[in-house]
Copies of this chain bind each other. A is one copy, B any other.
Amino acid sequence: MTWKHTSVSELLKIEYPIIQAPMAGGITTPELVGAVSEFGALGSVGAGYLTSVQLDEQIKEIKARTSKPFNVNLFVPEDQVSFSIEDVLRMSAVLKKMNMPLQDFSFTNEANHINYEKQLEVILQNDVPICSFTFGIPSKEVITELKKEGRIVIGTATTVEEALLFEEWGADIIVAQGNEAGGHRGTFKGSAKSDACIGTMALVPQAADAVDIPIIAAGGIADARGIAAALVLGAKGVQLGSVFIPCLESGAASAYKSKIINSNENDTILTKAFSGKYARGITNDFIQHMKPYENLLLPYPVQNEVTKPLRIKAAKEQNPQNMSLWAGQGLRMINDSFSAKELLTKLIAEVNAVTESSFIGRQ
């Protein structure tokens, strides 16, 4: 038995219990997901913002690249997002005053639910082996349907209470997302305000004690020490996001990649400015400029719809000041750009070294 043989490796049928985090917004290209899975870790599609047609294409592209397991992550929609068109106009006026581009507003609750249902259909039709969920728990019917034929369901929890709910609902594995994690907080019970967010060091052992299914640790893990420490804490696998952003196969804008490489542990902040839900990213002008308008922010995903043109424009212009630069708190450990294979080869060698040379190995 070495560190790589865990219940998570076994359930997911992968060689290394290392998950490339599902990062929505174009980062998790089929090239990235395919390369990670082909290596023997688990690639994940951040499908939250994809149409079912886009998702179908991406899944087919991944399957052309690897026959090994991969994961698709979906955002569970809220039953009903409440907002008025006056609220939208007010936020649009704020963005216009800041010279931000706008588009015709088209969000509806119905379309939001239909897209999720269609995404689920695509997952079933293509027989995706692993499906993870963020922002909520899918219905029992959906979980039962997914689990038929041995598909694995992973839930994202930010508290022990959320982990217990996912377990009760039939999830196979829990991602315990600590406060250090980049991107959106998966919180769906209670507040994701930063003073309430639980750190990975505290969340992982407490979640591992509370549930009987395995825990994957996420948040602040960016090298071999973090991977080994997470396993010592009781996790059976780890999920890493930020380290994969500068990968050659990642779809992140080059200005975003270079921000990841050049930023430090204290450059991130939790903000609702881009999407209406708290997410951790490298602070920039847009986040700072929106601070006075916090009370006008629209609920997720309406705010996300309204800020989409500005993010598209920022990506085109390689302007990091208006991009959502989602990133975790391990940034000082990320200093270079690799292929996914090079990155994973390096990480695995380092985990082997840490586990062999540490005081523990010398017992």
List residues of A whose CB falls within 8 A of some B CB. 1-3, 5-6, 159-161, 178-180, 190, 193-203, 205-206, 209-210, 219-223, 225-226, 228-234, 264-266, 269-271, 328-330, 332-333, 354-356, 358-363
Contacts and interface: CB of A to CB of B under 8 A. Distances in A.
Contacts of A226: 201-202, 205, 233
Nearest to A3: B359
A38 B252 CA distance: 55
A175 to B, nearest CB: 15
A355 B179 CA distance: 26
Contacts of A233: 225-226, 229
Given A1-B359, A159-B266, A199 B196 contact: no
Contacts of A333: 205-206, 209
Interface hub of A202, A229, A333, A354 (most chain B Cβ within 10 A): A202
A199 B225 contact: no
Contacts of A330: 202, 205-206
Considering the complex of A and B, which 3 residue pairs feature the smallest CB-CB distances, nearest first? A202-B220, A199-B199, A202-B329
Nearest to A234: B225
A268 to B, nearest CB: 8
Contact of A198 (B1, B180, B205): B180
B201 A178 contact: yes
Nearest to A359: B3
A201 B228 contact: no
A363 B2 contact: yes
Given A201-B220, A358-B360, A359-B231, A206 B159 contact: no
B201 A229 contact: yes
B198 A201 contact: no
Contacts of A225: 205, 232-234
Interface hub of A160, A201, A209, A360 (most chain B Cβ within 10 A): A201
Given A206-B330, A332-B160, A332-B206, A198 B265 contact: yes
Contact of A355 (B194, B354, B363): B363
A266 B196 contact: yes
A265 to B, nearest CB: 5
Contacts of A265: 159-160, 198, 202-203, 206
Contact of A200 (B2, B199, B206): B199
A198 B198 CA distance: 11
Nearest to A210: B332
Given A233-B229, A359-B231, A269 B205 contact: no
Nearest to A266: B159
Given A179-B199, A205-B226, 6 more contacts: A160-B264, A196-B269, A201-B230, A202-B226, A202-B265, A232-B354
Contacts of A198: 180, 265-266, 329
